[in-house]
Amino acid sequence: MQMRIYLAAGLLGAGAPLALADVTTLEIDVNALSAQASGPLSEDFTGTLQLFNTAQNTDANAQILDLLIDGARQNTPGASNDEFSLTLDLTFDSGSITDGLLSLQIDQDASENTYIALPLPVTDGSIIDIGGNFAVGGQTFDGTFNDALGTLLGVDISPWGSAEPVEGHFAILGLQPDGQGFDSNADLDIFMVTPAPSGLAALGMGMMLLSRRRR
């Protein structure tokens, strides 16, 4: 049987300081996604940005490379472009994220489970120009797995699933859109933390990653 695992999260702004030693972090490392901006990117960008890998719009190079727990790779088999679908929709006003939705579906074995998420507002966000490569960081909240006590690419996700709704953050790396705002090779790191502390400062954690170069 084939089971589909879904993760969906609204995007949230920055909160109070977070004691990093108090949390355990799950990271999903996604490479070579397609990205489409509604106009030329800049640090004061106003418009929309979408990252995607879907059945209708897939890139042969897109992949989930691995899962990491507290920075340690779990050496999973990952997922090829036709084994997952992902959309990250972001709206910007003067360089700040004002709205967004993240949705990830991984096909693992046989039954189908469905999750629907509504767009949730964001109070902060940031886009950075790193020598012509753009990077975006923001927070996530209300993250939910449809199989909260199951596995993801063979990794036990129950510490995060049992703590739903999950808070975290994301980092988009190595954006180099062409004149039409398209890039076929954007990297995305999705992070979830447990326990979910009050006022998660995930944006600050995510922004530390934005100086990373494309793999």
Q: What is the pLDDT of residue 57?
A: 79
Closest CA to 95 of 50, 140, 131, 125: 125
Maximum average pLDDT range among 53-57, 103-107, 184-188: 184-188
Domain membership of residue 213 (yes or no) is no
Task: Give 59-73 pLDDT, tens digit per residue.
Answer: 889 999 999 999 999
pLDDT digits (tens, 9 = 90+) for 10-37: 665 444 444 445 679 989 999 999 999 9
pLDDT average, residue stretch 46-67:
88
Please give the Cα distance from 45 to 179 (Å, whole number). 15
In a domain, 48, yes or no: yes
The torsion angles phi and psi of 160, rounded to 5 degrees, stand at -90, -45
128 inside domain: yes
Residue 181 pLDDT greater than 90, yes or no: yes
Give the Cα separation of 106 and 180 in Å (integer): 29
Tell me phi and psi for residue 18, to 5 degrees: -115, 135
Q: What is the mean pLDDT of the chain?
A: 77
What is the per-residue pLDDT for 158? 86
**Would you state the pLDDT for residue 107?**
75
In a domain, 215, yes or no: no
Q: Is residue 214 part of a domain?
A: no
pLDDT for 8 equals 65
pLDDT value at residue 213:
40
Whether 119 maps to a domain, the answer reads yes
Residue 184 contacts residue 32 (beta carbons within 8 Å): yes
DSSP, residue by residue, 67-82: EEETTEE-----EEGG
Domain of 142, in residue numbers: 4-207
Task: Supply the DSSP symbol for 22.
Answer: G
pLDDT band at 135 (very low <50, low <70, confident <90, very high): very high
Bridge partners of 80?
63
Query: pLDDT at residue 87 above 70?
Result: yes
Task: Report pTM.
Answer: 0.84
- Note whether residue 168 is domain-resident: yes
- 185 occurs within a structural domain: yes
> Domain count of the chain?
1
Instruction: Using CB atoms within 10 Å of the CB of residue 123, give its burial: 0 to 12 exposed, 13 to 18 middle, 19+ buried.
Output: middle
